[in-house]
Amino acid sequence: MNLRSELQKLLNVCFLFASAYMFWQGLAIATNSASPIVVVLSGSMEPAFQRGDILFLWNRNSFNQVGDVVVYEVEGKQIPIVHRVMRQHNNQVNKQFLLTKGDNNAGNDISLYANKKIYLSKSKEVVGTVKGYFPQLGYITIWISENQYAKFALLGMLGLSALLGGE
Amino acid sequence: MFSLVQRFQNVSNQAFSLGIIMVVFIMASSYYQLINNNAFSIPSNIDNVKTLVNVRTSRYFGSQRGKAKENMKIRFDLNTDLTPLFNWNTKQVFVYLTAEYNSTEKVSSEVTFWDKIIKSKEDAVVDVNDLRSKYSIWDIEDGKFDGKDLVFKLHWNVQPWVGLLTYGETIGNYTLTVENNDNV
């Protein structure tokens, strides 16, 4: 056990985290979305999307079609919501207003929108349009974020494996 | 050299690349099946559309600052067979009836009057008569629906078990000019 190999290991760990971060940011630039991959947290789009499903987003489109499933964040609330576009009104100068609804909800989303608005602004509030789907794998992140011990266990495991792992 | 961590890494790498290959294969084969079944040219028959106009004063019906808002519902006949959309990667089909129109000269709109989630091939034939639309429609602008030309279209969205969401339109539009109509 010499200092050089220990430092080498530390460097490898740094490299791992840096490349993961670069991959994420690269994806964000390519898709023009701050969070290009999201995990479904609620059942409002069932049976299409269940809790824990992974969605891949794209945000280079300047307008949405009716029927698109979009992820939006209302101003002032930091909760991303995944719902379907029911109406679009497009005034051709890069401004589009949308009305959304969850497939599993009885009514539309007006009660979720910011201060008495009855439409969503495509350019300001839509984070991305759902293009791809992978079932259930995101449940790990829900489990980690909702279970405090899981968080520590994961961090501990990462640290241990990085330090103890041979070669 | 063959530590537990190393083995775990090898196994997970293998699983990851195999998973990607499988997903790509499933996506390609289901898209091929859609094309093979002519899913992108399904005929539909929208007919006998009647408009029902009334006035609402709730925010949930488009009214703002207490101003009354004209709302419209429709009654319609619809007949289509969406069986071609079902293949081994179809989790559900979301089918929706929309109308395109111009709110003003500059603002173009598309609104959903009715939609349905179809989960199995057995339910894929839609045949309804004089059905009332699910949603009450108001326009974003202040004008009335009177005299507007609506183009009704039936769209579909295939939600896969894994892969890309697929969208399409059926063939068979229905055009209607809203006429002065005060009955509710």
CA angle B130, B133, B136 (to 5 degrees): 145
Statement: residue A167 has pLDDT above 60? no
Q: Does B117 touch chain A (CB under 8 A)?
A: yes
Mean pLDDT, consecutive 10-residue segments, chain B of 184 residues?
A: 78 94 95 94 94 90 88 95 95 96 92 96 95 94 88 96 95 89 52
Least Cα separation, residue B164 to chain A (angstroms): 4
Given this model, what pLDDT does residue A154 score? 81
**3-class state of residue A165 by DSSP:** coil
Mean pLDDT to the nearest integer, A95-100: 94
Q: Do A134 and B157 touch (CB under 8 A)?
A: no
**3-class state of residue A18 by DSSP:** helix
Rounded to a whole number of angstroms, the distance between the first and last alpha carbons of chain A is 12
**3-class state of residue B22 by DSSP:** helix
Given this model, what pLDDT does residue B132 score? 95
Given this model, what pLDDT does residue B174 score? 94
Burial status of residue B86 (CB atoms within 10 A of its CB: 0-12, 13-18, 19 or more): buried
Q: Which of B4, B92, B94, B110 has the most A C-beta neighbours within 10 Å, making it the best mutation to test the interface with A?
A: B110
Nearest Cα to B103, choosing from B139, B130, B71, B156?
A: B139
| Identity of the amino acid at A149 | Y
Given this model, what pLDDT does residue A165 score? 61
Statement: residue A90 has pLDDT above 80? yes
Given this model, what pLDDT does residue A93 score? 77
Kindly provide the residue ranges of all beta strands, DSSP E only, lying in A14-58, ordered along the sequence. Answer: 37-39, 54-58
Beta-bridge mates of residue B176: B150
H-state helical runs in A32-94: none
pLDDT in tens, B105-116: 889 999 999 999
> Pairing mode, if any, of strands B163-164 and B108-118?
unpaired
**3-class state of residue B102 by DSSP:** strand
* Residue in the block written with tokens 């490299």: A15
Q: Which of A98, A99, A108, A157 has the most B C-beta neighbours within 10 Å, making it the best mutation to test the interface with B?
A: A99
User: Looking at this predicted complex, what is its ipTM?
Assistant: 0.88
3-state helix, strand, coil in chain B (%, to 5): 25, 45, 30
Given this model, what pLDDT does residue B144 score? 85
Q: Which residues of chain A are within 8 Å of residue B98 when distances are taken between CB atoms?
A: 66-67
CA distance A79 to A82: 10
pLDDT in tens, A2-47: 889 889 888 988 998 999 999 999 999 999 998 899 999 989 999 9
* Residue in the block written with tokens 């091939």: B121
Q: Considering the candidates A35, A42, A44, A121, report the single residue annotated as catalytic.
A: A44
Q: Does B131 touch chain A (CB under 8 A)?
A: no
Given this model, what pLDDT does residue B93 score? 96
Q: How many helices and strands, by DSSP H and E, does chain A display? A: 4, 7
Residues 6+ apart with CB under 8 A from B18: none
Mean pLDDT to the nearest integer, A100-110: 93
Given this model, what pLDDT does residue A28 score? 95
pLDDT in tens, A130-161: 999 999 999 888 888 888 788 788 888 877 77
Q: Which backbone phi and psi does A135 adopt, to 5 degrees? A: -75, 145
> Pairing mode, if any, of strands A120-121 and A96-101?
antiparallel
Least Cα separation, residue B92 to chain A (angstroms): 7
Given this model, what pLDDT does residue A160 score? 79
The rounded percent of chain A whose pLDDT value lies above 70 is 96
Burial status of residue B152 (CB atoms within 10 A of its CB: 0-12, 13-18, 19 or more): buried
